[in-house]
Amino acid sequence: MDTPTDTPGKSPKPNIRKRLEAMLAEWGVLLLIVWLSIFGLTWVGFAFAIQLGFGDWVERHGGSLAALGTWGAAYFATELTKPLRFAATAIITPAIGTLLRRLRRSKTGASAAPGTPAELPPNGTLDETPSGQP
């Protein structure tokens, strides 16, 4: 019996660990920055939510979290969102990386098509004569 990996021309889909390693190799520090940014924003967001009154709900429905204090409860809630943060990081990082690459290319002028000027002259025209001269 043929298995999906035996079919010629199709390579098996890499497992999550291999995909994570490939993403880490490609994006490196950017991946870490995005992950920590999402973590920090989530933690601070939960802390503010608890301070603004969500903490009363926690006390009524799950009193043990109230003993942790605001930042402890916020950390616990942040850890509960880890799968969502992981997915968001995996989606956002390549988009941000591509955007940064495009911005870097446009700054160096490498994105201009061959034979076209990277920038217009100060007068905004492409003619060779400066404005005001015949």
Give the 3-state secondary structure of the chain. Answer: CCCHHHCCCCCCCCCHHHHHHHHHHHHCHHHHHHHHHHHHHHHHHHHHHHHHHHHHHHHHHCHHHHCCHHHHHHHHHHHHCHHHHHHHHHHHHHHHHHHHHHHHHHHHCCCCCCCCCCCCCCCCCCCCCCCCCC
Tell me if 91 is assigned to some domain.
yes
What's the pTM value of the predicted model, to 2 decimals?
0.58
The verdict on residue 98 lying in a domain is yes
44 inside domain: yes
Query: Which tens digits make up the pLDDT trace of 75-102?
Result: 988 999 999 999 999 889 889 988 988 8
**Domains of the chain: total:** 1
Is the predicted pLDDT of residue 120 greater than 70, yes or no?
A: no
Q: Read off the pLDDT of each residue in 16-43 and give the average, rounded to a whole number.
A: 86
- Which domain does 72 fall in, by range? 28-108
Residue 50, domain member (yes or no): yes
- The predicted pLDDT at position 59 comes to 63
Is it the case that residue 73 has pLDDT exceeding 70?
Answer: yes
